[in-house]
A and B are shown apart, each in its own frame.
Chain A
C-alpha cells in the first residue's frame, strides 16, 4: 500500500539544525510531488511548499524561505526537510504528504515528526 514513513521526534536547542526524512513506498516516487506541511501545537495546518520529485526543484511558500530546504534522494525514495538556525517558534509537527502535480490533493500523509526547540 502507498505509505509515507517519517523519522522520529527531535529535541533541538535554538540555533541548531534538524533534518526530517520521509520515506515513500508502494508507488513510483518520481510520479508524484512531495509536499511539506507544518502544524504548530494546538494550531492548524500550514503549507510549507513542495518539491518536484522529477527535477528536484523546490518551491517554498511565503514564510518558509531562507532557513528551510527541501531535498530528495530518489535512489531510496526519500524526501527531506532541513531547518537551520532553529527558533522556539519552529516547534511543531512537520508532515510530508504526497501530491499531484497541480496540488489538487494531498494523500497519503506521513505520520508526522515532532520537532521541539528548547534550551
Chain B
C-alpha cells in the first residue's frame, strides 16, 4: 500500500487561505468517502481536524474545511493564523481493513 501524495510544504500569510492536496488512487481516496486530516504540532500527538472528507469534529474551527474530487482530497484553511503552523497529514481507508496516510505537509505561516 503506497502512501498518499501530499506536497512537502505550503505557506501563506496571516489571513490568507491555503489548500493542501492529497492524491491517492481509485483503491483508496477514489473509492471511499473516508478521508480524514490530522494536524500535528512539533513534539505533539496528531489531532483530528476533518473526517469523512468534509466533517468537522466538535471544537475544530470552521476555518478548516475538506473536500474531494476523484482520487484527490483537499484540506483548506481560511483566515490563516500563526497557530495553524504545523504538519498536516491526510489519511484514507483503503479497503480490506487497511488505512493509508499521506507523507505529510509542513505549513508555514509567513
Contacts and interface: CB of A to CB of B under 8 A. Distances in A.
Nearest to A52: B97
B3 A105 contact: no
Interface stretch (A7-15, A65-73, A77-85, A107-115): A107-115
Contacts of B40: 45
A62 B1 contact: yes
B38 A45 contact: yes
Interface residues of A, number: 23
A46 interface: yes
Sorted nearest first, the 4 A-B pairs with minimum C-beta distance are A105-B51, A107-B48, A109-B45, A44-B104
Given A45-B89, A107-B48, 16 more contacts: A35-B99, A44-B101, A44-B104, A45-B40, A45-B46, A61-B1, A61-B99, A95-B45, A104-B51, A104-B52, A105-B57, A106-B38, A106-B91, A107-B51, A108-B47, A112-B45
Interface of A: 35, 37, 44-47, 50, 59, 61-62, 95, 97, 102-112
